[in-house]
Structure 1
């Protein structure tokens, strides 16, 4: 920041602070895993400093690192190439009440046939309230993030949650082909 201030660019520069992943520190039996479907791995800092552009706030919209490139392109006044995944966050930065995605897909593939990863391949969908994960091992997890934010009680297969599990499983399949 001091270099930007000295150059007179501090009021004309957008700064984004983001991480590529979170880190478990003992969560869910993992020492220092960073590629798991749990909140400790996928919920990361994402801070935008854009002088004079947006009111400061904490936001709970579901965004992902893939949204960064379209957002930067939008700030630059250009379109992101068609092959770039993600959605520009500019609309929700300007107006948090703007419609936005209701769910998000995240996935993990081990490096070489599982080498270097104690976590099997998985596909996961997250909404504001739920997280559903399917592993290549056949294991399934369902968490109520409102009542169980630390994802300690797997509700998959429980009678009272069959409907939401089926809905999330179907939506996960849709997201995998989008």
Structure 2
């Protein structure tokens, strides 16, 4: 009577972890929003879909030069969007939190999920190793470089609050 649970694939684990991060409200969708977050100094990494346009990939290569890790998942935009209840999603930004560190470890250890853009982006800047991710997690590095950006974010949300 020993029933063993079927092992989850790495893709299912990634989908579940991304769902948790989405419910916490930390994921940023879309290229323009990701670009805004990175220009403001938020720390994290970027996930992109497999069938992203070459123009957007080229624009993201500039973020790679600035130190952001970019991971290309082996799923298309429609599949990635269906995970979040959206039509299509090509670019995601995940800030540095404990949960997103787990996602980054999963991406680095499992080659079936995707790769860290080994084609043209790895030549632009060095890739992050699993040990570096552990060091960041040990230092508890958070989402922003300076506290001023946190207050900017609070004020931004306050400006667009619905009046009842």
TM class by shorter chain equals under 0.3
Structure having the higher strand fraction is 1
Q: Which has the higher contact order (CA 8 A, sep 6+)?
A: 2
Structure having the higher helix fraction is 2
Please report the TM-score for the alignment, with normalisation by the length of structure 1.
0.25
Please report the TM-score for the alignment, with normalisation by the length of structure 2.
0.26
